Amino acid sequence: MTDSPQLLEGKVVVLSGVGPGLGRSLGEEAAKLGADLVLVSRTQKRLDKMAEVVRSYGRRALVVPTDINDEEACENLVKATLEEYGRVDCLLNNAFAIPPMEPLTTIKHDALRGSLETNAFAPLRLSTLFADALAESPDKPGGSIIMVNSAVLRQSQPEFAGYKLTKGTLVHIASALATELGPRGIRVNSVAPSWIYEDVNKAYFDWMAQERGVTHDDIYRETADLTDLKRLATPEEVARATLFLASDLASAISGITLDVSCGEFHGY
């Protein structure tokens, strides 16, 4: 059990992109806040592990292995969700694929195309397919869609160009959907975290430290020094900021991109 405020009590959250780091924290924090979950990924073992965590908080978890780049698989996901719960209140689009970290002029277009499929077209596909169910959410005026984006939107380094292209496309999709689905009561928002201090980035800091002959803490301080708070967000902090947008406390918020960067970037 948990002492967290039950901001999502009774809600059904579809989490696309169950994985390590933020994906794991989104599932766990949603369960802590009272949500029942639909867990979506291609990896059965990963889904089963996440389901155990969700159920440990007394919440329900439906495991649906799905390739979100496959139209028929996504249609089956919607069907399975409604058969199990009869409602959907939030779609969390967290799945992503990182393209080659190199300038646009050198990236192979097939590699970029593959990342666009997962980072942009898959969230659009899921949002479109779940729209009817979200519009019928018992929590009027309707459900919500949240796109997990990235502070790469604020970056200009050449090596981030492909990643920025895919995430820039996603933020424009979110904006367009907010306008298109708003009359049906569906809110659409984005979250843009910067560095998240989790296992993948911790390993990257270790590698950077070894390459430069410094310590992990040195790399952390250098990175954190770019933020107002002089620290990096944890995956739990990013998850809670994201899930706020799924709660009734955010019932009048739509069409925004919320930076979660400990003050590294100031969005307007």
Task: Convert the pLDDT of each residue in 98-155 to its tens digit.
Answer: 888 888 898 888 888 989 999 999 999 999 999 999 999 987 778 999 999 999 888 8
Average pLDDT over residues 42-66: 96
Domain 12-196+233-260 has CATH 3.20.20.210: no
Distance in angstroms (rounded) separating the CA atoms of residues 129 and 112: 24
Give residue-wise pLDDT tens across range 58-112: 999 999 999 999 999 999 999 999 999 999 999 999 998 888 888 889 888 888 8
Closest CA to 164 of 223, 100, 121, 233: 100
* Domain residue ranges of the chain, discontinuous segments joined by +: 12-196+233-260, 197-232
Average pLDDT over residues 175-204: 95
Amino acid 94 reads N
This prediction's pTM: 0.94
Give residue-wise pLDDT tens across range 225-253: 999 999 999 999 999 999 999 999 999 99
Distance in angstroms (rounded) separating the CA atoms of residues 102 and 93: 25
Strand order in the sheet with 257-260: 61-65, 36-41, 12-16, 90-93, 144-148, 187-193, 257-260
